[in-house]
């Protein structure tokens, strides 16, 4: 049994907010439909098979339903437990991605081969062209150069961050140093476990969680553990312990005591800002991004996309179900094209890569918000 599922009263308020239900109008592709299926699987009334596995794994886990649910049903938690029940019926592609993506060393080696690394995933191969296999691994500790530190924070870089978003890692370190913090980047940290948890491999996800907790707990006088990618952050936020309180990078920097230490050069440009569903619905830090960007004089930053709505990336969704991902991406792209921005900013790597994979003759620059902030940072 999954006790948390009993909190769902099947009211249907979630239907209008669910991206897969809006596309299909299928009850099975709605939050309450999936919860009903999980309940039936847990009771043994439904036998796990390919169809039940597909119904559950096709959920993008945007968790918008949690935000509007009057009963505060923990949908993400229920889904992870449900996916564990159908794990043996997950498709080959899903299993391959879960096995390869979290292993940064293996990914780096595969990408250095210089040819398509996974023939089953043409979209992943296209995105792989953006990887920086030569990006240096962050040092274990960084200290402010101009003054004594006011505290120490830990930085969670993720399993793919150094490959696909090393610029955001460098930017986060620069901003934190300027704010007066020592930055610890424990070299033994591992994948957050989100991919495994969402693939039903709860045992491995638990082991990764325990490793990360031990690694960050070993750092002395740690005030916070800060994540850069909101997808990772949403999963880290569910950890029972992590050595210190978890913060999204934008939420941490936007604190009044921190942001007061940061000044930025003017930038007479425009930015389309995509707020990932994980940042809005789970971490509730979308406003922090806009607060930080407002500190850059002359920058015109506008949010694109409906608040809390998934762009279609959904972790591995853009790779496993590209047709669905593309349909959900379309409204956001129309806004981006209509505003003709100089930059497109998004706090989640998979969202940014998904949006960026479309050819655009205007070629706006796609960045994590902290990357743009660090470029304009006035350093001591």
Each residue's pLDDT tens digit, 225-246 = 999 999 999 999 888 778 889 9
- Output the CA–CA distances (angstroms, integers) from residue 34 to 58, 60, 158, 306, in the order listed: 10, 12, 29, 23
More confident residue, 316 or 359: 316
Token pair listed for 190:
């591992």
| Range in 144-153, 227-236, 261-270 the model is least confident about | 144-153
Confidence of residue 138 (pLDDT cuts 50, 70, 90): confident
Q: How far is CA 370 from the centre of its chain?
A: 15
- Is residue 131 within 8 Å of residue 163, measured between CB atoms? yes
∠ CA 150-244-141, rounded to 5°:
55
| Rounded Cα gap, residues 213 and 95, in angstroms | 25
- Find the distance separating the first CA and the last CA of the chain, reported in whole Å: 57
| Range in 287-296, 310-319, 368-377 the model is least confident about | 310-319
How confident is the model over 1-26, as a mean pLDDT? 92
3-90 classified as CATH 1.10.1060.10: yes
How many CB atoms lie under 10 A from the CB of residue 190? 18
Nearest CA among 44, 42, 43, 81 for reference residue 59? 81
| Rounded Cα gap, residues 260 and 177, in angstroms | 13
Q: Per-residue pLDDT tens for 192-203?
A: 988 888 888 888
Average model confidence (pLDDT) for the chain?
A: 88
Confidence of residue 134 (pLDDT cuts 50, 70, 90): low
Domain residue ranges in the chain: 3-90, 263-376
CATH of 263-376, one of 3.30.420, 1.10.8, 1.10.287, 3.40.50: 3.40.50
Task: Identify the residue whose tokens are 């949690």.
Answer: 66
* Per-residue confidence (pLDDT) for residue 291, from 0 to 100: 97
Write the burial class of residue 380 (CB in 10 Å: 0-12 exposed, 13-18 middle, 19+ buried): exposed
| Rounded Cα gap, residues 168 and 164, in angstroms | 9
Q: Where are the beta strands (DSSP E) in the chain?
A: 141-142, 151-156, 181-184, 222-227, 245-248, 270-274, 300-304, 343-346, 365-367
Q: Per-residue pLDDT tens for 78-87?
A: 999 999 999 8
């Amino acid at each position: 049994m999954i006790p948390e599922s009993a909190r769902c009263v099947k009211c249907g308020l979630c239907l209008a907010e669910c991206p897969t239900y809006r596309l299909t109008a299928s009850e099975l592709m709605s939050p309450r439909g999936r919860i009903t299926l999980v309940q039936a699987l847990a009771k043994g009334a439904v036998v796990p098979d390919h169809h039940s596995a597909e119904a559950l794994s096709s959920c993008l886990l945007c968790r918008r339903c949690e935000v509007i649910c009057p009963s505060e049903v923990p949908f993400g938690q229920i889904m992870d437990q449900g996916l564990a029940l159908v794990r043996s019926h997950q498709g080959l592609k899903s299993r391959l991605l879960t096995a390869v993506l979290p292993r940064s060393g293996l990914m780096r080696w595969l990408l250095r081969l210089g040819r398509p690394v996974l023939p089953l995933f043409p979209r992943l191969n296209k995105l792989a062209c953006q990887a920086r296999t030569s990006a240096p691994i962050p040092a274990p500790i960084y200290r402010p150069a101009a003054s004594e530190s006011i505290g120490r924070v830990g930085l969670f870089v993720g399993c793919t961050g150094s490959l696909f978003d090393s610029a955001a890692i460098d930017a986060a370190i620069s901003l934190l140093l300027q704010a007066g913090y020592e930055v610890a980047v424990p070299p033994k940290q591992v994948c957050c476990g989100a991919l495994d948890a969402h693939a039903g491999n709860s045992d491995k996800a638990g082991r990764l969680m325990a490793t990360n907790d031990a690694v960050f707990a070993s750092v002395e006088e740690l005030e916070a553990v800060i994540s850069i990618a909101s997808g990772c952050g949403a999963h880290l936020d569910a950890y029972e312990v992590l050595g210190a309180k978890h913060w999204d990078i934008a939420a941490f920097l936007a604190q009044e005591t921190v942001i007061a230490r940061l000044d930025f050069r003017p930038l007479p440009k425009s930015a389309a800002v995509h707020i990932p569903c994980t940042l809005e619905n789970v971490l509730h830090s979308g406003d922090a991004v806009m607060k930080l960007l407002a500190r850059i004089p002359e920058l015109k930053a506008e949010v694109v996309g409906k608040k809390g709505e998934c762009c279609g990336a959904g972790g591995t969704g853009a790779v496993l179900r590209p047709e669905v991902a593309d349909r959900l991406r379309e409204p956001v792209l129309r806004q981006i094209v209509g505003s003709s921005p100089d930059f497109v900013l998004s706090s989640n790597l998979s969202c940014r890569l998904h949006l960026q994979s479309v050819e655009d003759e205007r070629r706006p620059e796609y960045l994590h918000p902290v990357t743009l902030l660090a470029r304009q940072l006035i350093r001591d």
